[in-house]
Amino acid sequence: MNPAVRAVVRMSIAKGCVPYAIYEGYEGLVQGGDLIQEKAWEDVRGWLSEGGTLIGTARCASFRERPGRLRAARNLILKGIDALIICGGDGSLTGADIFRSEWKGLLDELVTTGELTQEQVTGHEHLNIVGLVGSIDNDMSSTDATIGAYSSLTRICQAVDFIDATAYSHSRAFVIEVMGRHCGWLALMAGVATGADFVFIPEKPPVDGWEDEMCAIIRKHRTMGKRKTIVIVAEGAIDRNLNPVSASYVKDVLVQKLRLDTRITTLGHVQRGGTACAYDRMLATLQGVEAVQAVLDSTPETPSPMIAITENKITRKPLMEAVKLTQAVATAIKKKDFETAMALRDAEFEEYYRAYMATTKLDDPLQKVSEDKRMKIAIIHLGAPAGGMNAATRAAATYCLSRGHRPFSVGNGFPGLCRHDSVRELTWLQVESWAIRGGSEIGTNRSLPSEDMGMVAWYFQKYRFDGLLIIGGFEAFHALSELQKARQSYPAFRIPMVCLPATISNNVPGTEYSLGSDTCLNALIDYCDAIKQSASASRRRVFVVEVQGGRSGYVATMAGLSVGALAVYTPEEGINLKMLESDIDHLKESFANDQGMNRAGKLILRNEKSSKTYTTELIANMIHEEAKGRFESRTSVPGHVQQGGTPTPMDRVRAVRLAIRCVQFLEDNVRTPEEILADSSTASVIGIKGAAVIFSPISALENEDTDWKDRRPKSAFWLEFTDIADTLSGRKGIPGSSTFTANL
């Protein structure tokens, strides 16, 4: 929530508006006075890395009644406020829309009673409302993610990962209760991300006699050699008769039916704590910026908008329509209409549920394909390690096994294949624990198949692979291109092939998101938060941090947006002397305007390949020279720390979803060798683009959207965020200065 407030305040100022913060939620609106405060640019400095909400939140019974809303309207008019951006759940957003609908009547009454004059209300005849959804439950319809949900999921997965080690050591079962009174998103995603054995969610209660089904699945896992058992229960979990499914009852079932040493862990409000993860910082920032623009675009006839995100695109949705759909889920559950309840969640929710069941329930005859359709599928990693590679491999392998296919790993990339015949058939027990592991369990390599294409084809023919899944970065993309072209000469490659992008650089054409990029950003913001704290605690200091990313500025730009960097240098924009001169002047003004906060620390992020001339060290030295002792400069290079350790929940859950989609692509494209040779779409890259998951033929991407020289797409969606990052950092001029006024 704090990054959202920061974005709204600074973008409002940049647009020439006056921002106010209302403390203690609607209670502050009703009470007025000092609880409604005008905010200046520097008031929200450092808010990106603060957890909770610094302006407070509170339930307010008085705002639910008209007299309370009447006082709230009076307080807003006295401050000259006629637009509200609300960050909260469906109740808060519903209250705001009611407030808007009553606005004219409230003002008329205040004038009639003499509490306000006609002159005071003139020019404020309409109240504009924009909603931002802040909810760790991710329970709002019409948006894929709510502010706070992924941060909460991060806390849950960290806890389960820690518990996992104890469960394995003692061969125990753990029943973990997570939040989610009316929505099972946290429980489901935690189950997907951690490889839990069973999950309970309110939208999809288990079948009658679920105790036997759960025990059968867990018994099967134990029989196959699994030493630990994790069951995740949403606090609102129910059975099909609407009876609560409690963690204690699940424990009793495991103890009595399976004789497992079982413990219960209730995570409670720890799920709300801590600083925001990278995704939530970006989501809140971009939605806050969009909310300000939505206010400026609003007319009296415009329905109140809610700022949403669909896949990778910030969108506006009708606020009350989203609220009604959200409330309809609870109604459907009460009516035992669970199919409707699942349908009312976004399509992604149901897809994740199907993916979870397919990877945990191994012997479902309904999942198996007929003998004649069963495939031998090869999985290979290429490029540098990236968070989510192992989770994707696990998901692909377990999904293959549930369908009756045979998954094979190719160890250490194409050199491992050609030199060591590194093909190994994957078993469920072998990959079961890979969901939470970083790096690459099967090994990865940057070498391309063209180094020995004939030998690669010989091994493909030897093992008679029916499909190929390549997981990796630009090397994986390049390898797919080579293999597709080699089909003409080598019949062994006339099989369906798909590339799943996985690289911290997020530079693969055909997608706006690559596995590992979220893990990288979280590792980087943790590093930068610590560096910024050091800079603030010691002296007035600026750190120039060198960021990885190859010739793609994605990591630097999104990290800069997430940590509030004063400037970001990318290969796409480059660095020149005039730019450095302007930024150093901006840095001087920034320190000068810190209003007595003489220990303020600043960050500048520089992509490793932004310039051959203006190195990280040189930039820091130039700053030091120009500072004239008023502040100091230092360099910092996180290096391979940015690859991260344990993958983030986002990289894990998206790895599962996309890997299963890839296997389904291979299944759907089983054809004769002649048909494969004639259809280039049978070699494709899976990607998230805008608001959809798509498969793009490699032949089209390499010709139309690939900058081969710089190893990146010709166009990048995130370039539009550079102006936002510059604006929110004040890079285009410090508020109150002549340069800032000129820019406005």
Confidence of residue 600 (pLDDT cuts 50, 70, 90): low
User: Is the backbone of residue 552 left (phi > 0), alpha (psi -120 to 50) or beta?
Assistant: beta
SS (H, E, C) 295-323: HHHCCCCCCCEEEEEECCEEEEEEHHHHH
Joined tokens for residue 680 = 């280039």
Contact call for residues 406 and 375 (beta carbons, < 8 A)? yes
Tens digits of residue pLDDT in 187-240: 999 999 999 999 999 999 999 999 999 999 999 999 999 999 999 999 999 999
Q: What is the DSSP string of 631-668?
A: SEEEEE--GGGGG-SSPPHHHHHHHHHHHHHHHHHHHH
Q: Is 89 annotated as a binding residue?
A: yes
pLDDT attached to residue 742: 29
E strands, 369-524, are 376-382, 406-410, 423-425, 444-445, 467-472, 497-501
Residue 677 has pLDDT above 90, yes or no: yes
Tens digits of residue pLDDT in 39-93: 999 899 889 999 999 999 988 999 999 999 999 999 999 999 999 999 999 889 9
Q: What value does the CA radius of gyration of the chain take, rounded to a whole number of Å?
A: 27
Stretch 106-132: mean pLDDT, rounded?
94
Q: Is 68 annotated as a binding residue?
A: no
Tens digits of residue pLDDT in 424-441: 999 999 999 999 999 999
Tens digits of residue pLDDT in 684-715: 999 998 878 999 999 999 999 999 999 999 99
Q: Is 180 annotated as a binding residue?
A: yes
Tens digits of residue pLDDT in 518-574: 999 999 999 999 998 887 776 688 999 999 999 999 999 999 999 999 999 999 999
Q: Is 60 annotated as a binding residue?
A: yes
Q: Is 281 annotated as a binding residue?
A: no
Distance CA 669, CA 223 (A): 35
Whether the CA torsion 166, 167, 168, 170 is positive or negative: it is positive
SS3 (DSSP) at 353? helix
Domains observed in the chain = 2-146+276-330 (3.40.50.450), 149-272 (3.40.50.460), 371-515+647-713 (3.40.50.450), 517-645+722-743 (3.40.50.460)
Q: Is 100 annotated as a binding residue?
A: no
Residues assigned a catalytic role? 137
Confidence of residue 371 (pLDDT cuts 50, 70, 90): very high
Tens digits of residue pLDDT in 496-506: 999 999 999 99
Tens digits of residue pLDDT in 155-182: 999 999 999 999 999 999 999 999 998 8
pTM: 0.94
Q: Is 641 annotated as a binding residue?
A: yes
Of 653, 688, 685, 682, the closest CA to residue 394 belongs to: 653
CB atoms within 10 A of CB 630: 11
Question: What are the contacts of 293-298 at 24+ separation with CB within 8 A?
Answer: 293/11, 293/15, 294/130, 295/83, 295/85, 295/128, 295/130, 296/15, 296/17, 298/83, 298/128, 298/130
Q: What is the mean pLDDT of the chain?
A: 93
Q: Residue 689's beta-bridge partner residues?
A: 692
Distance CA 208, CA 493 (A): 48
The residue written with tokens 């957890």 in the block is: 51
Contact call for residues 513 and 506 (beta carbons, < 8 A)? yes
